[in-house]
Amino acid sequence: MKPTSRLLPLLSLLLLALTSPLARAAESAAQENMNIIQTILHGGPLIILIWVCILGTSMVMLTFIIQLFVVLRDEQLAPAALVQSLRDTIHAGNYQEAWEICRANKAYIALVLKGALERLGRGKDAVETALIEHGIREAQILKTKNSYLSVIGVIAPMIGLLGTVIGMMGAFAVLGSSGVADPRSLALRIGEVLMATASGLFIAIPAFIFYYYFRNRATIVLVNADDQLNRLVEDIPFEELSGVRIGETFEAGAGAGVSTGSRKVSMALTTNCPVCNGAIQSGQNPCPQCGATLDWA
């Protein structure tokens, strides 16, 4: 056998030995250059679906956090201008007008006081009970959005864990098909697993942090708003308002000094009250029949 023919197999083996590491290096470089999007797409439809769920959960979490930052404020639950308007109206005895103000506003203090004013003619105990009942109901509505943050904090790691299980299945499939001869593909699969796990934790941790923050914040602002409500009703003469109906079917009780607001009346010698249509002398104020405050022109 010629020497050249003996060298050909050796050269072939040498060339193969040199080119194989280069090929593997090129493949590993391509895998290392994969960004997050490419890594997610490489995981297949199930991994893509899981990442869609993770991104959707994060957007919902951010939405609730922004809403709670806006809602759980003293100025939002008990605006200073609204509190002052209600205080002046109630101090003047215009309880029906105060109810109208509450009906036109959606603030926490207005929603609670509206229900309490509707029981004004039933006594102090009924009003205080209404404050508690409506306060609990409106507070529960405010706290519901915060409870969703706790739900997200529990679900997000579960979604990440599902991605971990699916990624590990892919990693074992690579290990079963090529063994340890293809460590780069195995490492890529394990990287997908860790990304899914980390993404769930990245959502769960801030969700729980803000959940406990907003839970304490809600307690503080609700206590301040309830304190404002108690101050508004503490000086109401409940004994004098027995039988009064405040609300849609307004009715002043007998002898109750309930004012319905200012009403302009002509300065004729004798005229009729614009509220109860009863006879009234010119300049007389309030109306002796219904107690309405009249604005004589």
pLDDT digits (tens, 9 = 90+) for 83-123: 999 999 999 888 889 999 999 999 999 999 999 999 988 88
Round to whole Å and give the CA distance between 17 and 226. Answer: 81
Q: What is the pLDDT of residue 51?
A: 76
Angle between helices 183-233 and 45-71 (to 10 degrees): 20
Question: Is 24 within a domain?
Answer: no
Q: What is the pLDDT of residue 4?
A: 43
Statement to judge: residues 113 and 204 lie in one domain? yes
Statement to judge: residues 292 and 185 lie in one domain? no
Statement to judge: residues 184 and 275 lie in one domain? no
Domain span at residue 146?
40-236
Question: Is 9 within a domain?
Answer: no
Question: Is 15 within a domain?
Answer: no
Statement to judge: residues 148 and 87 lie in one domain? yes
Question: Is 33 within a domain?
Answer: no
Coil, helix or strand at residue 263: strand
Statement to judge: residues 221 and 284 lie in one domain? no
Q: What is the pLDDT of residue 220?
A: 94
Sites in the chain below the pLDDT cut of 50: 1-5, 7-33, 254-256, 260-269
Contact criterion met (CB below 8 Å) for 262 and 294: yes
Question: Is 285 within a domain?
Answer: yes
Contact criterion met (CB below 8 Å) for 206 and 68: no
Round to whole Å and give the CA distance between 123 and 125. Answer: 6
User: If you ran DSSP here, which 8-state letter would residue 268 be given?
Assistant: -
Statement to judge: residues 112 and 177 lie in one domain? yes
Statement to judge: residues 270 and 228 lie in one domain? no
Statement to judge: residues 228 and 285 lie in one domain? no
| Residue 81 CB coordination number (10 Å) | 8
Question: Is 193 within a domain?
Answer: yes
Q: What is the pLDDT of residue 238?
A: 84
Q: What is the pLDDT of residue 230?
A: 92
Contact criterion met (CB below 8 Å) for 120 and 236: yes
Domain boundary among 236, 251, 274: 236
Statement to judge: residues 288 and 153 lie in one domain? no
* Number of domains forming the structure of the chain: 2
Coil, helix or strand at residue 264: strand
Statement to judge: residues 54 and 184 lie in one domain? yes
Cis peptide before 286 (omega within 30 of 0): yes
Quote the pTM value.
0.65
Contact criterion met (CB below 8 Å) for 214 and 149: yes
